[in-house]
Structure 1
Amino acid sequence: MADMQDNFVVHTFGIQIDGVQLEQLKSISGLGMQQDVITSQHVTDKGVVYTRKQPGAKTPGSVTITRGMDKSKALGDWIKETYEKGDVTKGRKNVTIEMKDNTGKTVRRITLMRAWASSWQSGDLIAGQTNAVDESVTIEFEEMKVEDS
């Protein structure tokens, strides 16, 4: 019988923007990749129709990160490169997401290549509430690389 292994857990992960670790992080959503499917039908010399499917173009993706808003400038400075300065060249960074096991060891590293922030949103500000303020950032990327440790 094969060794039984534990699944990766959802609560131990980290994110880096061009090697700079974000200190606080609540969630990452939308992480995935997609590839078009090309479907073509053919007929054999015996008149039998069959269907072939093959991979097509890769579709770039996007992820949304949510974190507690704090004094850290790393995320804000990155967003300013494209939003305020319009400098897409400087704004494109590699974003690395690390999934960790229960001991804190990285078990999977996902790199989002040539990524940039397309939107930023603050959590609601409500008088009389005692909640912390979150911020959400949507990150567009052109390519995804997955490495298992």
Structure 2
Amino acid sequence: MFAIELGQMRLETLQSVSGLADGHTQSGQITITRGMDKSNELTEWIKESRVNHNNGGARNVSICRLDAANTVAQRFNLRNAWASSWSASDEAIETVQIDFDEMVIE
């Protein structure tokens, strides 16, 4: 299970994440799949960063791998991240591609 954080605030759990690297990455992209527990703050960041990623919309984002107790087992910190694409297969499922300048793994 994965969760996404903006700053130090956990916003929601994710149905899936693809594109995470095993080591430090200078730049790249990941894809997240959002389920039913969508947060308004993440939705607003997705909208804002798609339009204004060069003008303050990009932020530091963390993807957290959670263990069975729902605590962080591993954190993937994405520096200067923005949502580059968004799609929805239905009202419940959304797919978001997030581009970033650097990935640091804790």
TM-score, normalised relative to structure 2: 0.80
Aligned position for 1:135: 94
Say which of 41, 62, 65 aligns to 1:74.
41
For the residues of structure 2 that align with 1:34 and 1:107, how far apart are their CA atoms? 16
Q: CA deviation at 1:99?
A: 1.6
Computing the radius of gyration over CA atoms, which structure comes out larger, 1 or 2? 1
For the residues of structure 1 that align with 2:26 and 2:104, how far apart are their CA atoms? 13
- Give SS of 1:103's match: coil
Which of 1 and 2 has higher RCO (CA within 8 Å, sep 6+)?
Answer: 2
Q: Is the CA contact (8 Å cut-off) linking 1:33 and 1:59 kept in structure 2?
A: no
Give the count of matched residue pairs.
106
Q: CA deviation at 1:136?
A: 0.7
Q: What stretches of structure 1 of length at least 5 have no aligned partner?
A: 1-11, 36-57, 125-131
1:1-149 matches, within 5 Å, as 12-32=1-21, 59-68=26-35, 72-84=39-51, 86=52, 88-124=54-90, 133-147=92-106
Richer in helix (by share): 2
RMSD over aligned Cα atoms? 2.5
Q: 1:104 to 1:80 in 2, by over 3 A?
A: closer
Q: Is the CA contact (8 Å cut-off) linking 1:95 and 1:111 kept in structure 2?
A: yes
For the residues of structure 2 that align with 1:133 and 1:117, how far apart are their CA atoms? 19
For the residues of structure 2 that align with 1:70 and 1:13, how far apart are their CA atoms? 13
Q: 1:109 to 1:122 in 2, by over 3 A?
A: same
Q: CA deviation at 1:72?
A: 3.0
Q: 1:60 to 1:34 in 2, by over 3 A?
A: farther
For the residues of structure 2 that align with 1:69 and 1:106, how far apart are their CA atoms? 21
For the residues of structure 2 that align with 1:94 and 1:113, how far apart are their CA atoms? 5
Q: CA deviation at 1:87?
A: 5.2
- The letter of the residue matching 1:138 is Q
